[in-house]
Structure 1
């Protein structure tokens, strides 16, 4: 290899979404802490239970061997909210991709990593016949999600409104249609 080629490191390969695994949890917890602080941190045990759910379809992104972003998601029902620290509950006939949590390492913000996760999750959901995607917007993120096609949706069920309240003031349940589903 010529000397000039060795002096310039090769650029990192673009990260690709892959299924989130238990081995990813230490990195996930680091990213979560950096993004949310203590108020919204969910434990290792909670994520282990979620990974064991047959409904889960969570994704991870790695860069240079380290987890740099994740999307905790599962197949659910429109109008159903997973409470903060709650488990992913399997539904008999899911119609909605529920995005429970997505975070990108702050050091890598603005590089399109969230869009890689969303595109992969939406494509899989469409291929499985899911018609909607839903989430709870927290920490002032409603504008971000609106730019991705999500709109506030009222929750008719009192139990679901109670679950929404676990996220604190300003939490908003939002839904979008999955094109082509």
Structure 2
């Protein structure tokens, strides 16, 4: 599936569709052509919805508004992906929906809370990606040098020998997480670590 109507000549390695697997319409307000960073990896949206419902039982449209507000209105979640994701969570018995006036009101189940606890680290990653994306939307397009560096990182991961010992997992995770945090924190963090 290709994105023929979006300008992604500067993003040859991205797989952003009109509605990508992350469930977001690529329509940042005030940005041309709907070009925005990919926000969620597959599965992230399920985890975020579960976390939001755990905080406050709500309707589907409430979740759309909450997620949109996380991005200061720069991203609008697609109902066409939000609602099927809620159906998936409900069928998995992680949430339960009750009809009120023709609209479903969702609440988390005990199984859902247990799943959320197990995925606490992953949820932190989701929230970090949201923060990174929001900051990116406030700035300019990523310059080609940054795209090249990101592609180099992706290539390095593909070239890894695949022997993921516990020590190697920790080493690579620390490298990646520390780099992500330094980027979010800004130049000051890089200067302090030198």
Q: Please state which band the TM-score falls in when normalised by the shorter chain.
A: under 0.3
Larger helix proportion, structure 1 or 2?
A: 2
**Structure with larger Rg:** 2
More strand by share: 1
